[in-house]
Amino acid sequence: MTVMLQSVRDAGSVTERDAEALLALEAATQERPLALATLLRESGPHGVILLARDVSNGEGVLVGFASARLSVDEVDVIRLAVDADQRRRGTGRALLDGLVGWAEEVGAAAVVLEVRAGNVAAQQLYAAAGFTQDGRRPRYYPDGEDALLLRRPLVRRTATPTTTPARAQRATTAGGV
């Protein structure tokens, strides 16, 4: 599989087919799936949504997506999901690396996220990408499962973040990734 990443900022740059595939992924991986417009709003003007396409057969079928936003000087990962039939082929890591690269570009000091305490697959992925545990939120998820807070510090390429949205934005996504 050959995966290409594309960043999108508004609904206009998402084709109908991509939107359908993205929402199917959202429904398959989230207890409370969000609409595309809500996902775009959650990442906000200081955020990014990355689409991962399998371009090996020329069709460019969407196989995963990830989203994040800049809150003050940290990038918060909102979503990271790969089609269940396409996992363990490097797409999750490619998306995560894409988000980390974007975070470096915007001058963030760190990338942070919440992961379910029982989500071993994602935790392995994050550990391999240099994330370490930075806390725990008891009963963070609607079903009562704890969240682990993970962080990967970044070496800043620029002196300050290119944007400075309010830290309050971080509280707007229910459930985290």
Query: By the 8 A CB rule, do 94 and 3 touch?
Result: yes
Active site residue 140: no
- Beta-strand (E) ranges in 16-153? 47-54, 61-71, 74-82, 110-116, 132-137, 147-153
Choose the catalytic residue: 26, 42, 114, 140.
Answer: 114
Q: How far is the CB of 177 from ligand COA (least distance, A)?
A: 4
State the residue number with the nearest CB to ligand COA: 92
Closest to ligand COA by CB, 111 vs 125, is: 125
Q: Which two tokens stand for residue 171?
A: 């509280």
Closest to ligand COA by CB, 81 vs 107, is: 81
Under the rule (CB under 6 A), what is the footprint of ligand COA? Answer: 29, 80-82, 87-93, 115, 119-122, 124-125, 128, 177
Q: How far is the CB of 127 from ligand COA (least distance, A)?
A: 8
Active site residue 126: yes
Query: By the 8 A CB rule, do 38 and 30 touch?
Result: no
Helix (H/G/I), strand (E/B), else coil: 41: helix
